[in-house]
Structure 1
Amino acid sequence: MLALEVDRRPPLGFFIQSRHKTRVLKGLKALTQMLRSQNDVLDATVFKAVVVPPGRGAFLNKRPNVPVARFDVVMLVEFVDIEAAQRFQNTARWKETLATTSQNARHSFTISASNTRHIGPVDHTRDGVFLFNYFYADSLELNLKVWNYTAGWFQDQTGLDNSTVLLPIDASAIPYTIINHCRWDRLRDILPAILFNKTFKPFVLDNFEQNNTAAIPILYKRA
């Protein structure tokens, strides 16, 4: 996973795109096209942010050193195994990509991760609304437990039938404990539930805070 903060925009302002972002997206999409032709790659997709929804965890106020995720570009590549991902990270093409994107990004991170929890596979073959939820928690064990508990709310209230939880191989690589990734068909499948459903705060947000966990959600579309 490669996450980049290229354009800093208000929550609804991502329809405005700088030439730096256009350049980054063009390069990453060319890279994913190349990767999809390799035998050890199962999927490669580039995403760009659409909106920052409500749901940022209040627990972050108690951990001011944790940076708020503002990544408006994400590339996610699924390899056949961790070793294949790590081999690719040592290639000249990847090192060139990192050098180029770092010139156009305010902040970035790249990680290898395993899928530690899931509801179902996330379909990247068709358009939709894709969530990357950057979690911070004092305890990985509690983070996973509260994810398990609150995932049922999203299944019940939004019809969610897919989700994967990315666990970084190197926990020191990023300040986030896990990254949850999932998909809905349309914005109206998710936004009304988190904006107007009265159970969202007590069942989801309050559970996060009570377990020293915070979520930083961003919604994306395929680039």
Structure 2
Amino acid sequence: MTPENSPTPDQTSFGEPSTDHFLYAGWCVDPPTRLPFVGRSEQRQRMIERCRDVAATAQRHGAVQTATVYETQMIPPLPDIPRYDVLLLIRARTHEGLVHAEAGMQDLDADFVMPARNTRRIGDTDRTLSATFLFNHFTARRPDVAMEGFDQVAGWFPDKLGVDNTTLLQPVEQTTSPYAFVNYVRVPGSARGFLLTMLTRPSFHTHVRRTLRTYGMTALPLLAKPV
């Protein structure tokens, strides 16, 4: 049921969702304690190398399309934000391929693992890896209506920020995930520039944040680069 007085939906043109299977994982290795910017870390680099070995092995399976390791660049100082400074996203054509990939990362002891399906899509997020990527974790008091809230704000980002892609990852097991969904997006420009441009737009506060509050949702963004 739509909350009362909810805003009029943006006219967002979604493409057909992907039929691929996704696995999103995060590690809290050596995140910053005060500043939002993630500095260099030998401990994190060792974990990245381990993840890259697992990703390379996973991609040898015929059903696995991509397995990409990311190093987080920015963790905004928000309450309850995930502090994953290493991320891994695996995309497979079949469920069996995803199970094979997940089995290969058991020894890495991820802090968070989410098998997911794509339920909203704009453009091609994986068109290039030479970019900064947003992993926006959405919590919701009522996950069953959170998609309505997302639909209300999704068009703002192409319209105001020039974002030409979105791959929404919805957990396969909603009851076991702390997030209603994770939005995976390739953003224009740098992590710092993207956040600054977004936060200085008045309509981000009057439309996007207000709509999310109406639906009892919170957005917890991490910005990362492939490594």
TM over 0.5, shorter chain = yes
Query: Can you list the C-alpha shifts for 1:146-188, whole angstroms capped at 9, x where unaligned?
Result: 1111111101111111111111111233211111110124126
SS at match of 2:49: helix
Per-residue deviation at 1:12?
Answer: 3.2
Where do residues 62-211 of structure 1 align in structure 2 (5 Å cutoff)?
A: 67-89=80-102, 91=103, 93-98=104-109, 108-123=111-126, 125-187=128-190, 190-211=194-215
Shift, 1:11, TM fit: 4.2
- Please tell me whether the aligned partners of residues 193 and 200 of structure 1 are also in contact (alpha carbons under 8 angstroms): no
Does residue 38 of structure 1 match 2:56? no
**Which of 31, 36, 40 is equivalent to 1:12?**
36
Q: Assess if the C-alpha contact under 8 Å between 2:58 and 2:101 holds in 1.
A: no
Q: Point out where structure 2 has 5 or more consecutive residues left out of the alignment.
A: 1-23
Structure 2 SS opposite 1:142: helix
Deviations 1:36-60 (A, max 9, x none): 2221011110111111348x5xxx7
- Whether the 8 Å contact between 2:61 and 2:97 is mirrored in structure 1 is no
Instruction: Name the SS for the 1:12 alignment partner.
Output: coil
- Counterpart amino acid of residue 86 in structure 1: V
Cα distance in 1 for partners of 2:214, 2:64 equals 39
Q: With structure 2 as the length reference, what TM-score do the two structures score?
A: 0.81
Tell me by how many angstroms 1:189 deviates.
5.8
| Residue identity opposite 1:22 in structure 2 | Q
Aligned length: 202
Deviations 1:56-100 (A, max 9, x none): 5xxx7xxxxxx43111111000011233212433x3x332233xx
With the length of structure 1 as denominator, give the TM-score of the two structures.
0.82
Distance 1:73 1:115 in 2: 22
- CA distance, structure 2, for counterparts of residue 45 and residue 144 of structure 1: 26
The gaps in structure 1 that reach 5 residues or longer are 61-66, 103-107
CA distance in 2, matches of 1:205, 1:69: 19
1:75-131: per-residue Cα shift (whole Å, max 9, x none)? 000011233212433x3x332233xxx5xxxxx111211011111221264321100
Amino acid at match of 1:97: L
SS in 1 for 2:206: helix
Task: Give secondary structure in 2 for the equivalent of 1:47.
Answer: strand
The 8 Å contact of residues 42 and 79 in structure 1, kept in 2 or not, is answered as yes
Equivalent-residue separation in structure 1 for 2:137 and 2:217 (angstroms):
11
Partners of 1:12 and 1:68 lie apart in 2 by 11
Given that 1:121 and 1:163 are in contact with CA atoms closer than 8 Å, whether structure 2 keeps it comes out as yes
- For the residues of structure 2 that align with 1:87 and 1:12, how far apart are their CA atoms? 35
